[in-house]
Amino acid sequence: MFKTLPVFQSENKHNVLIIGIFEEAPLHPEVEKVNNELHKQISKLKKMKKAKLGERTILYTMDNMNSETVYVVGLGKKEDSTTETIREAIASASQQLKRDKIKKVAFLVESFVSESVDKNDAAVLIGEALALGTYTVLDYKEKTNEVDVNIEEVVLYGEEAGLKEAAQVGFTYGQGANRARKLVNTPGNLMTPTDLAEEAVALAEKHGFEYEILEREEMEKLGMGALLAVAAGSDQPPKMIVLKFSGNSSSDEIIGLVGKGLTFDSGGISIKPRENMHQMKMDMGGAAAVLGAMDIIGTVKPNVNVLAVIPSSENLLNGSALKPGDVITSLSGKTIEVRNTDAEGRLILADGITYAKQLGATSIIDVATLTGAVIIALGDCTTGAVTNNEELLEEVLEASVETGEWIWRLPNYAPYKKMLKTSDVADLNNAPGRQAGSITAGLFIGEFAEETPWVHLDIAGTAWQSKTSNLGPLGGTGAMARTLAQVVINKEG
């Protein structure tokens, strides 16, 4: 798909040539060559203030060069340029490529370079943004006979060695996020725990992972009382999904990725309001992120051992459903009083975390659409984090900076932990109140991580976007798939 050429030549044929221009900065020499071919049209755009961040102009070459059209992408002020602004600008152009049904595209890589974004960075961002920007949500409407057209060739103009490989890495990351998006966007009747397990098995077979799918009977023998209690209200059987990538046989370290796989959440007996309940198909966003990360990891194959664990069920209500006031026994042996059946994610993750430890995970990152409270605290652009290990959290934060997925650390002070011990009849209370809801939910999971280095990521606000953006359409975002993969890949170095 990707190939490189050292310098732009006007006789080279592409459907579209994409260039970036900065405000108040001279045109790059390679851009100036195109500008001359187009009779200074690009210079005129700068004078018309069309270089502002987010501006996108289509120029028709009128046979002045062999490329049919040129997309000129505004990058804003060069001194303000970051990987995030460049990623979004290229993703916006990628959406236009999708709309225009383009097959062959070329980029002047150096036109996207600034002090904070080098040529290699720009190539990674091109690959990543092409994948993210061209993603389409699958719908179930009556289809036309119109043929889908996808990008077949991407030429990168630039003399830097390794640009092709860098773009391919970026594209792999984008595809991993898109896999997570696809899972999140699938309706609940088509993405049951059984369907999710099948997706995981297909991924394992694609990359040669070891895998295990625990059925209800096996969970009962092992004592996974928390997961089974949540699943009791549904006719769909629960699954405990395990994937294992052994990238370093000489190491005993295994990083565990645990994802909440609640394929639909009605709230159970503590039922949710009807408004927007249809969006609760996205409550398996944590599981989707883990599978998206494993897709990236399976492609890159870092020299690291990774264990993915996904407890999966539905949270519905019938005569057998979990009730407020019930006391359940988790896989760890700790008992839990259920004050709120809509605080179910932390219950299934309790058994997921414990099982990951039993399988040998030496550190754990869990990711979950866990609390509405995190949206109140951080909005829909930042993921909340709770940890028991500052070193592991720093690794996660470093990876999030590299991928442009924002994370903010929440406190883990003793008073919050005491709130979890307020049950008169059990070791833990699953819902001690509205105060510090995201913190106590995360620390509840931490009770099962115990001394194992652990980070919890609450993506309730970031896993779903309610309007389109440059990086994708309404729906699942694939949040944290790229960051989880980056944490793992960084451990290789």
Give the SS3 label for residue 355: helix
Give the SS3 label for residue 287: helix
Dist. CA 478–CA 262, nearest whole Å: 16
Burial class (CB in 10 A: 0-12, 13-18, 19+), 487: buried
Dist. CA 474–CA 449, nearest whole Å: 34
Residue found under tokens 């203030």: 49
Taking CA atoms, 25 is separated from 3, 74, 138, 240, in Å, by: 28, 12, 41, 55
**From the candidates 346, 357, 482, 491, which is the catalytic residue?**
346
Residue type, 202: A
* Residue 49 backbone dihedrals phi, psi, to 5 degrees: 60, 40
Give yes or no: 491 in active site. Answer: no
Give yes or no: 216 in active site. Answer: no
Taking CA atoms, 94 is separated from 89, 152, 202, 368, in Å, by: 9, 13, 29, 29
Residue type, 460: A
Helices 285-300 and 163-185: crossing angle, nearest 10°? 150
Dist. CA 120–CA 96, nearest whole Å: 24
CA neighbours closer than 13 Å in the CB half-sphere of residue 308: 37
Residue found under tokens 């059209």: 69
Dist. CA 488–CA 440, nearest whole Å: 27
**From the candidates 33, 50, 98, 272, which is the catalytic residue?**
272
Strand 335-337 and strand 428-429: the pairing is: parallel
* Residue 57 backbone dihedrals phi, psi, to 5 degrees: -125, 135
DSSP 8-class letter at 66: S
Q: Which two tokens stand for residue 334?
A: 């700790």
Strand 255-259 and strand 239-246: the pairing is: unpaired
Residues with catalytic annotation? Answer: 272, 346
